[in-house]
Amino acid sequence: MLQGPKYGLLLTTLLFARSLAAGGAQIVDLGYARYEGSQPNSKTVVFYGIPYAEPPLGERRFRAPVPLVPSRITAEQPEGGAIDATQPPDFCIQKGNDGSENCLKVNIYKPHSATPDSKLPVLFYIHGGAGNPVAWPFDHWIEYYQDVVIVSVYYRLSFLGSLAPPEFKDSNLGDFNVGLLDRIEALKWVRQHISRFGGNPSMSLSTARATEVPMSIST
């Protein structure tokens, strides 16, 4: 039987490697920030809550989404580390005070083996007019179908996403259809960055539920 400090070090190394293979975190570098995702199974990596636009708070409420400012995200990254994207974010406000206004984010599901050179097709999932994207998880899809990257999007809902008073005809007061504009902004972000997750920005398949309108990055 193997004994001694060398054997102990070998055993520790093997156990650490096994833990990484079973459920360890993975890193994707977007250039302006590094994100740490989770590995729910041996074939799938999930990145939760990656912002695609500036938070629609204060004077930005009821306004078209503001494109993400990369330097703000860079400043939030721990020095020498990565931003934690291993836990689902708050969903967008729907009724009362449930959820958060700071919700313009995406969840991204990728095959563990996917690299920036993989150029896999992208499925952009838009949930129905209510709900939480994590209620429709895709890690099991990726586990069985290793030839796709899936993005699910959070966008403003209810009165925050579709309020349309006559006063908004004056663009100084607000914008119409901001929930739809959120999804368009998310598509722009995906097109720019999805290759880092193994996706092909020029080839996408988009889907929708309920009353939502199908959208795609390109034709």
Which strand (E) or helix (H) includes residue 197? Answer: none
Coil vs helix vs strand at 133: helix
pLDDT digits (tens, 9 = 90+) for 123-134: 999 988 778 899
Which residues in the chain come in under a pLDDT of 50?
1-2, 5-24, 210-219
Model pLDDT, residue 209:
57
pLDDT at position 161? 84
pLDDT of residue 34: 97
- What is the predicted pLDDT for the residue at 216? 40
According to the model, what pLDDT value does residue 62 have?
93
Q: Within 10 Å of residue 9's Cβ, how many Cβ atoms?
A: 10
Nearest by Cα to 54 from 152, 130, 124, 156: 156
Whether 210 and 136 have beta carbons less than 8 Å apart is answered as no
Residue ranges of domains in the chain: 25-208
Domain 25-208 top-level CATH class: alpha beta
pLDDT in tens, 139-184: 999 999 999 999 999 999 988 888 888 888 888 888 899 999 999 9
Q: Is this model's pTM higher than 0.85 or not?
A: no
Supply the pLDDT for residue 173: 85
Supply the pLDDT for residue 10. Answer: 40
Contact partners, residue 13, CB within 8 Å, separation at least 6 = none
